Amino acid sequence: MKTLKRILLGFVIIIAAAACLWFGRFKVEDICAHKKIADINAYMKTVDDIKVSDNVNVVAIGEAAHGCKDFQELKLSVLKKMVKDYDFRAFALEADYGECATINRYIQGGDGDIESIVKTFSFPIYHTKQMEELISWMREYNSTVSEGKKLRFYGFDMQNPETSYEFLKSYCTSKGLTSAEEFDKNLDCIEKGEVSVESAKAAIDFINSLKEKIGDIDVSNADDRDAVFELNTVRQSMETFTKSDESIYTLRDSDMAGNIETVLNIEKKIGSGKLVIAAHDGHIAKIGNGYTSMGAVLSNDLKDAYYSIGTDFWKVTDNIKNFQKKNRSIQSFISADPLAAQARFAKDKQYLLDFSDIKEGDSLYSLINSPLRMGTLGEGYTWMMRIVQSSYRPKAIPSGLYNAMIFVYEGSPIEIVN
């Protein structure tokens, strides 16, 4: 028994020592990353200092954590700046086109109240006061300008095709493109949430036939524009059901990039041809993490006309979906990003860093061109993230991902409006 106890005790000591070494390594990283960078104050700017060249027509603002209100507030700050100083007249969000088309009708002066309108979003992360403020600002702005100067609100995602169902059914039947019975027969799998590979393929064929019947449209007609675009995003959604491997991630980002380019072409005909887009950092980054990101496609296609602003936090308290319990929880994380740590010296503990400003030879220049820990949180939490911390703070080269970044020292969680 004594020998067995010694073995067990030794085993416990080894496990405890390994755990101390494992988690101690992360703590050492945090301490080292928190040191002040000598020349950082000279480069600290605010959102009001953002400068883009005349040829830029897509400005992307990212968020390092979906469930952080500070990053949601930045969407409106960047949009106001681009509208005021650069004549941008459109905003596009990582959400389905169908639900955003409904919101756009409200922004154009349609009926409704903001509390109900914001719940049009399928993603609960947008059921917030911050999104209410963004939508309300766009509606109020439109009430003060002429028709040609009005702002529009778009979505470029395709994960919730059911949000397009009622509009498309009404449009297609009113135009004599199909009957209500035929529409339901081919697409009610979407409405019921019972999509299979077979029903997805049938839906794609039916959608393609409807698009052929519609033919060319005048994009200045909002209903025609919405119908064609929504048919396209519903088809894209159905295509994801025909995939069974990780290519679905590249497919989604490729489709989102294509949707943004379509919106941009529409805006070149009916607006100023300039667009602010908002999505997770992983989507707007010019280099994907293991797959071809939306930002990589846009950067390749649009070249210097695409301007990407990433974000990061030093510490964030995040409202995030819990994979195990299938509910939302409040979790705190530290990124170990040395650039984000500098935000504690900035006004309101937040600052903008434009990478083009940084002089070669400065210590900061070397830093932005080296792999750094950076925070990235999506819509999913699991306890394993506490063990494998690189899952939410991987290393990446900031200047390779973005043109600029906005850093927040301590991010607060969103509050979802019930």
310 pairs with which residues across the strands?
405
Indicate the burial class of 123 (C-beta count within 10 angstroms; 0-12, 13-18, 19 or more): middle
Global pTM? 0.92
**C-alpha–C-alpha distance, residues 286 and 67, integer Å:** 23
Q: Whose CA is closest to 414, among 65, 99, 77, 46?
A: 65
Helix axes 165-174, 180-192, angle to 10 degrees: 170
- Residue 313 identity: F
**C-alpha–C-alpha distance, residues 5 and 28, integer Å:** 34
The stretch 10-39 carries a mean pLDDT of 68
What does the DSSP 8-state code read for residue 37?
A: P
Residue-wise pLDDT tens digits, 344-370? 999 999 999 999 999 998 889 999 999
How confident is the model at residue 418, as a pLDDT?
Answer: 79
Q: Which pLDDT band holds residue 291 (cuts at 50, 70, 90)?
A: confident
